[in-house]
Amino acid sequence: MTLRLVFAGTPEFAVPTLRAALASGHDVVAVYTQPDRPAGRGRQLAPSPVKQLALAHGIDVRQPETLRDTDAQAALQALAPDLMIVVAYGLLLPQAVLDIPKFGAWNVHASLLPRWRGAAPIQRAIEAGDPATGVCLMQMRKGLDTGPVLLRSVTPIRDAETSGALHDRLATLGANLVRDGLGLLGAGLLPIAMPQASEGVVYAHKLDKAEARLDWTLSADALARRVRAFSPWPVAEADIAGERVRIHRATALEREHDAVPGSVLGAGVDGIDVACGSGVLRLQSLQRDGGRPLAAADYLNARPGLRA
């Protein structure tokens, strides 16, 4: 059967899934996305990545400030959707909205639920040192990422992988799950909804820019994970011999020392070595205020006094 789909999403992470829905052979009758927001140096209103793709395909785009009011809910009801697909939409969907589509609403969530429910699952998985993560296709229920899981895909977190790189891989995996789920539903087969375990619930709290400040008393391993987790945003930062810099790439070294955490132990073409609570963090890509990211060797050309 051909399904009437409504898609709700906003950022780049949702784009591959919208592409999958458009290519599924089902009818995407409308796309919901957040209102245009100021962006860039000129702070001009800019459409979301999802809106841009929807308009390019001639899809009806709707941008309500909220879905809590009855007018917005009536407009959705009038679309007579069979299914709503939600990916990083950014607006709360009340139960009245979830009840409108015949088959409810599916959500793509970038973690292995119930671990890392919430706003920043990709970053928190890297920061915590998880060996693997994945994507869940979840039947939406009232509550924060609490619904039963329909399909899931698991992937290892690669060595030195940043949140930006993992984001892109998980976006593709999420699109594949939606493709598979739509294939089943279109054939009249409902994916089996598996309730989430009551144990192992962990919340991925929203990133705060203040977290980007590195605490040198932590271990080098913890700081290296934080650098990866906070790339491309908010980007780790620290004082290096009196200068505030942003750190885009770093590696933990297992090296014993008795130096004060935050001390520069050495600097050369391979990087700048900084003492941590345990181990040493080698900074490999740094950015000065107002500048662009530089390899450590290029940064040292501007600060030759740091060289070993």
User: Does the annotation flag 293 for ligand binding?
Assistant: no
| 102 and 54 together in one domain | yes
How many structural domains does the chain have?
2
Residue 239's pLDDT is what?
Answer: 94
Q: Stretch 232-239: mean pLDDT, rounded?
A: 97
CB atoms within 10 A of CB 177: 23
Examine the pLDDT at 104 and tell me if it is beyond 90. Answer: yes
- Decide if 247 contacts 272 (C-beta within 8 A): no
CB atoms within 10 A of CB 190: 11
| 137 and 221 together in one domain | no
Residue 171's pLDDT is what?
Answer: 98
CB atoms within 10 A of CB 185: 20
Unique residue bearing structure tokens 């605490």: 215
| 244 and 289 together in one domain | yes
Residue 38's pLDDT is what?
Answer: 85
Name the DSSP letter for residue 30.
E
Examine the pLDDT at 308 and tell me if it is beyond 70. Answer: no
Q: How confident is the model at residue 132 (pLDDT cuts 50, 70, 90)?
A: very high
Side chain identity, residue 147: G
| 67 and 125 together in one domain | yes
Residue 240's pLDDT is what?
Answer: 92
CATH code (residue 230): 3.10.25.10
Of 156, 178, 204, the last residue of a domain is 204
Q: Stretch 95-106: mean pLDDT, rounded?
A: 97
pLDDT tens by residue, 173-192: 999 999 999 999 999 999 99
| 159 and 23 together in one domain | yes
Which is more confidently placed, 298 or 43?
A: 298
| 198 and 253 together in one domain | no
Whether pTM > 0.85 for this model: the answer is yes
Residue 134 and residue 121: Cα distance in Å, rounded?
10
- Decide if 88 contacts 10 (C-beta within 8 A): yes
Determine the 3-state secondary structure of 221 from DSSP. helix
List of E strands, the chain: 4-9, 27-32, 37-39, 44-46, 61-62, 83-87, 105-109, 115-118, 132-139, 149-156, 202-204, 236-240, 243-253, 264-268, 271-275, 280-288, 294-295
| 181 and 224 together in one domain | no
Domain that holds residue 130: 4-204
Residue 28, φ and ψ in degrees, nearest 5? -85, 100
Instruction: Annotate 233-252 with b (16+ C-beta within 10 A) or e (fewer).
Output: ebebbbebeeeebbbbbbbb
pLDDT tens by residue, 68-82: 999 999 999 999 999
pLDDT tens by residue, 189-230: 999 999 999 999 999 999 999 999 999 999 999 999 999 999
Examine the pLDDT at 269 and tell me if it is beyond 80. Answer: yes
Residue 92's pLDDT is what?
Answer: 86
Helix (H) or strand (E) holding 71: helix 70-78
What does the block give as tokens for 128? 């915590």
| 23 and 127 together in one domain | yes
Residue 202's pLDDT is what?
Answer: 97
User: Does the annotation flag 114 for ligand binding?
Assistant: yes
| 42 and 134 together in one domain | yes
Residue 53's pLDDT is what?
Answer: 98
| 171 and 289 together in one domain | no
Residue 42's pLDDT is what?
Answer: 73
CB atoms within 10 A of CB 171: 23
Examine the pLDDT at 160 and tell me if it is beyond 70. Answer: yes
Examine the pLDDT at 244 and tell me if it is beyond 70. Answer: yes
What does the block give as tokens for 35? 């209102």
β-sheet bridge partners, residue 83: 5
CB neighbour class for 214 (10 Å; exposed up to 12, middle 13-18, buried from 19): buried
| 42 and 130 together in one domain | yes
Residue 61's pLDDT is what?
Answer: 98
CATH code (residue 58): 3.40.50.170
Share the mean pLDDT of the chain: 96
User: Does the annotation flag 278 for ligand binding?
Assistant: no
